[in-house]
């Protein structure tokens, strides 16, 4: 039976939690009904009708991208009310799930980034309301916990293991595979309820909602081929013609991989690309023997294309590489550079004391952005400003100072006089 929709920002969310707690007491703990296997379009459309009448659904996906440029969806797991459904995208058009994603329904996920990418690709939509259990757990001091670890810690359930690296395109999926997949969605709403209770007790519920909203964004555009070389480890150390050749080869590799829907490493490995950039061969025969170069990848016209890109790179002027190819980090004033590690140490102390995942609270880049006066710094607004951002501003203004207490560690204390002392 579908429950009336209730937005988590309102008190109705608490009523929804209470209703589910009653249902859980009536059912033996951790006992879930047999999941449904959805492999026909008619069954999927019926499921979608039921989904849009629910107030909260849990969603997970299984996909492969080891042999493709884009993720290949193999399974969608959905839990709601007392049902768990496994949807087979190889026999159905999962684009109809867009109706549920677009509806005023809370979608609960765990580590949602890649799932959102896949759903956006396959359904053309992302959840209109989102709650990520991994993100929310960070406000309880848990550092990016796995779903199994979170279910074990908060619900006392040991999930089955062993099929994480399975071939999800295998058909029919074995019973153990299906059970493993079903578990990935079956406990998410229970986790949402438990996290709701714990975070409300700490007055951090709204913090979690605000942070989850930041993850509710469509994937960005496909990678820009002109930026591809900057993602290769070691490429930034190249100079002159070596950098130009790496730039040309990486852009060609990215375009080729996208057109053929294969991983970029299947076109040319990073090691091969760097070897070619450093040696700058002039013929296909000179490619042979270079470290990382696979002869199978140079069959047909591929070898000629590589040599052509090397030549184009050698013809480039030093200023031809797009200026945006090396994005600049926060420009922290030299006088404030020593403050970055000092503030970072204090943020570590705050994270430990408050029981918040350090990586969730503030990264080194976040700190540098605030010190550089970046108005878009994540520490300038919201819960982060409340926890550390305002304190850092007081420190920079000379209104506070850091002191070390052997028992409490680094502490931010008001500075007498409210500002830096000046010599008259």
Q: Mean pLDDT, the chain, as a whole number? A: 88
pLDDT at 330: 75
pLDDT at 321: 80
pLDDT at 168: 96
Name the token pair of 164.
């994480």
DSSP H or E segment with residue 75? strand 72-80
Q: What is the pLDDT of residue 300?
A: 84
Q: How far apart are CA 197 and CA 221, in angstroms?
A: 37
Count CB-CB contacts under 10 A for residue 76: 27
pLDDT at 93 over 60: yes
pLDDT of the residue at 42: 98
| More confident call, 364 vs 334 | 364
pLDDT at position 423 is 37
Is CATH 1.20.140.10 the classification given to domain 334-414? no
Q: Which residues pair with 409 in a beta bridge?
A: 405
Residue 117: pLDDT over 60: yes
Burial of 401 (0-12, 13-18, 19+ CB in 10 A): middle
Does position 105 have pLDDT exceeding 70, yes or no? yes
- 129-132 β-sheet, strand order: 36-38, 83-87, 72-80, 56-64, 106-109, 129-132
Q: Is the distance from CB of 184 to CB of 164 less than 8 angstroms?
A: no
Q: Which homologous superfamily does the CATH classification assign to the domain defined by 225-325? A: HRDC domain (1.10.150.80)
Cβ contacts of 258 within 8 Å, gap of 6 or more: 69, 222
Task: Find where tokens 């290949």 sit.
Answer: 72
What is the rounded radius of gyration, in angstroms, for the C-alpha atoms of the chain? 26
Q: Report whether pLDDT(112) > 60.
A: yes
Residue 208 pLDDT > 90: yes
Using alpha carbons only, give the angle 130, 133, 138 rounded to the nearest 5 degrees: 115
Whether 12-215 shares its CATH topology with 225-325 is answered no
User: Looking at residue 6, what is its pLDDT?
Assistant: 39
Query: Which pLDDT score is estimated for 334?
Result: 84
Flag the least confident range among 10-24, 87-101, 372-386.
10-24
CATH class of the structural domain 12-215: alpha beta
Burial 186-198 (b: 16+ CB within 10 A, else e): bbbbbbbbbbbeb
pTM equals 0.85
Is the pLDDT assigned to residue 335 strictly greater than 90?
A: no
Measured CA to CA, the distance from residue 109 to residue 192 in angstroms comes to 9
Q: What is the mean pLDDT of residues 305-328?
A: 79
Summarised one tens digit per residue, pLDDT across range 255-273 is 999 999 999 999 999 999 9
Q: What is the DSSP letter of 4?
A: P
Of 95-104, 176-185, 320-329, 386-395, minimum mean pLDDT range: 320-329
Q: What is the mean pLDDT of residues 19-47?
A: 72
Confirm if 371 and 311 have CB atoms less than 8 A apart: no
Q: Which long-range contacts (CB under 8 A, 24 or more apart) does 116-120 make?
A: 116/215, 116/216, 116/217, 116/218, 116/219, 117/71, 117/219, 118/61, 118/63, 118/71, 118/73, 119/59, 119/61, 120/218, 120/219
Residue environment code for 167-180, b if the CB has 16+ CB neighbours within 10 A, otherwise e? ebeeeebeeebbbb
- Looking at the chain, the whole-number percentage of residues with pLDDT higher than 70 is 87
pLDDT given for residue 422 in this prediction: 40
Give the position of tokens 């305002």: 390
Which pLDDT score is estimated for 197?
98
DSSP string, 152-220: HHHH------S-TT--TT-SSPPHHHHHHHHHHHHTHHHHHHHHHHHHHHTT-HHHHHHHHHHH-----
More confident call, 297 vs 56: 56
Query: What does the DSSP assignment read for 241-255?
Result: HHHHHHHHHHHHHHH
At residue 118, the pLDDT reads 97
* Cα separation, 62 vs 177, whole angstroms: 11
Give the start-to-end residue ranges of the domains of the chain: 12-215, 225-325, 334-414
């Amino acid at each position: 039976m579908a429950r009336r929709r209730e937005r988590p920002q309102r008190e109705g969310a608490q009523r929804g939690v209470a209703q589910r707690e009653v249902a859980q007491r009536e059912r033996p703990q951790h006992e879930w009904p047999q999941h449904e296997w959805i492999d026909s379009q008619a069954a999927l459309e019926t499921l979608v009708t039921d989904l849009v009448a629910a107030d909260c659904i849990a969603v997970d996906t299984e996909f492969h991208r080891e042999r493709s440029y884009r993720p290949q969806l193999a399974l969608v797991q959905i839990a709601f009310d007392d049902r768990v459904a496994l949807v087979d995208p190889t026999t159905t058009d999962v684009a109809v799930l867009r109706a549920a994603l677009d509806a005023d329904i809370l979608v609960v996920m765990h580590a949602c980034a890649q799932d959102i990418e896949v759903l956006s690709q396959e359904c053309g939509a992302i959840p209109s309301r989102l709650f990520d259990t991994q993100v929310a757990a960070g406000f309880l001091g848990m550092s990016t916990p796995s779903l199994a670890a979170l279910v074990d810690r908060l619900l006392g359930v040991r999930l089955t293991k062993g099929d994480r690296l399975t071939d999800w395109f295998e058909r029919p999926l074995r019973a153990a595979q299906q059970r493993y997949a079903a578990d990935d969605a079956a406990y998410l709403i229970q986790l949402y309820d438990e996290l709701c209770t714990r975070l409300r007790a700490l007055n951090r519920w709204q913090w979690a909602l605000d942070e989850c909203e930041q993850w509710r964004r469509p994937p960005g555009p496909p990678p820009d081929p002109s930026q591809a070389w900057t993602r290769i480890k070691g490429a930034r150390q190249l100079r002159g013609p070596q950098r130009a050749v790496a730039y040309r080869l990486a852009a060609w590799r990215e375009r080729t991989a996208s057109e053929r829907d294969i991983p970029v490493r299947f076109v040319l490995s990073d090691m091969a690309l760097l070897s070619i950039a450093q040696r700058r061969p002039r013929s296909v025969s000179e490619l042979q023997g270079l470290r990382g170069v696979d002869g199978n990848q140079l069959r047909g016209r591929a070898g000629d294309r590589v040599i052509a890109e090397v030549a184009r790179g050698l013809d480039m002027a030093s200023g031809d590489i797009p200026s945006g190819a090396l994005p600049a980090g926060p420009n922290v004033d030299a006088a404030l550079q020593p403050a970055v590690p000092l503030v970072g140490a204090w943020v570590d102390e705050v994270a430990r004391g408050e029981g918040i995942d350090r990586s969730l609270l503030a990264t080194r880049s976040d700190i540098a952005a605030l010190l550089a006066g970046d108005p878009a710094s994540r520490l300038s607004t919201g819960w982060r400003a409340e926890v550390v951002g305002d304190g850092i501003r007081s420190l920079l203004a000379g209104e506070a100072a850091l002191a070390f207490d052997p028992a409490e560690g680094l502490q931010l204390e008001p500075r007498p006089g409210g500002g830096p002392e000046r010599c008259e």
